[in-house]
Amino acid sequence: MWARRSGARALKSAHGAAERYFVINDVTWCALAIFLVLALSGGAFLVPQGWLLYLGLINALLLLQGRYFGGRLKGLAVIFISQLVITSLLYLLLHGAARLPEGVIAVTRILLAMIPGWWLSIVCAPQRIGEVLSYCLPSKWAFVLGACFGLLPYLGQETREIYQMQVMRGAKIQPKALWRPQNWQELIYCVLYPLLIQLLKLSKQMATAAKLRQFGRARKPTHWPYE
């Protein structure tokens, strides 16, 4: 199951469009993966500080495997660095340099809690996630959560495209410009707002597609078949 498939990472459909490939497309393995993600994400906040190193090694393996199957690490790196800078500045202003390590540990715990979910969105098919969650949640909730995991890769791609277009038109949102706080507002207006609008449009399209397929009328909805 964990072996790397040969050829390109994007399968080609009959119409020539690229389709995403998922390592885990089985209900049992997907359920085990979800339990692993819940344990690791919860442990990131609950384990003692001395155990964070071992938890970090496990998350490093997830990062390697996720990258191996086409995941991008840049988004996680940007989130971690931005949180680290903001949290460090707040700790310096409020508590001084003596408690700065506490802020670094807090940001590290947040990162360790995010990595398992990032990994799950790469290796598990969204329809299998929704199918597993439907055993313990209402079908509509399971559908929403599965769709959210399916949207994570799209979110990163859409963010990159919007960012590149705004940079080409001259927006001051490049890394060097963002060191100045006065440019943060431009980042919000040029990237975050358009991204939010795109996500709202996509959510409406998904809701329309589900409605046209009579989703919600059957007590036990079906899921996309195995490949």
One-letter identity of residue 140: K
For the chain, state the CA radius of gyration. Answer: 20
Q: CA angle 98-104-108, nearest 5°?
A: 160
State the pLDDT at residue 99. 86
State the pLDDT at residue 5. 36
State the pLDDT at residue 155. 79
State the pLDDT at residue 4. 36
State the pLDDT at residue 20. 66
CA distance 173 to 167: 7
State the pLDDT at residue 107. 92
Q: Please state, in angstroms and as integers, the Cα–Cα distance from residue 162 to each residue in 79, 81, 159, following that order.
A: 17, 21, 5
Residue 215, φ and ψ in degrees, nearest 5: -70, 135
pTM exceeding the 0.75 threshold for the entire prediction: no
State the pLDDT at residue 227. 45
CA distance 177 to 183: 7
In the predicted model, residues of the chain with pLDDT beneath 70 are: 1-20, 218-227
Closest CA to 118 of 86, 178, 78: 78
State the pLDDT at residue 85. 87
| 99 CB-near residues (< 8 Å, 6+ apart) | 91
Residue ranges of domains in the chain: 20-124, 139-227
CA 195 from centroid of its chain's CA atoms: 15
Closest CA to 36 of 108, 119, 110, 111: 119
What would the two tokens of residue 78 be? 């940007």
Q: What is the pLDDT of residues 163-187, one digit of tens each?
A: 899 989 888 888 888 778 788 888 8
Q: Please state, in angstroms and as integers, the Cα–Cα distance from residue 125 to each residue in 1, 3, 16, 162, 202, following that order.
A: 13, 16, 20, 26, 19
Q: What is the pLDDT of residues 83-118, one digit of tens each?
A: 898 888 888 888 888 888 998 999 999 999 999 999
Whether the CB-CB separation of 178 and 184 falls below 8 Å is answered with yes
State the pLDDT at residue 177. 82
State the pLDDT at residue 218. 67
| 80 CB-near residues (< 8 Å, 6+ apart) | 107, 111
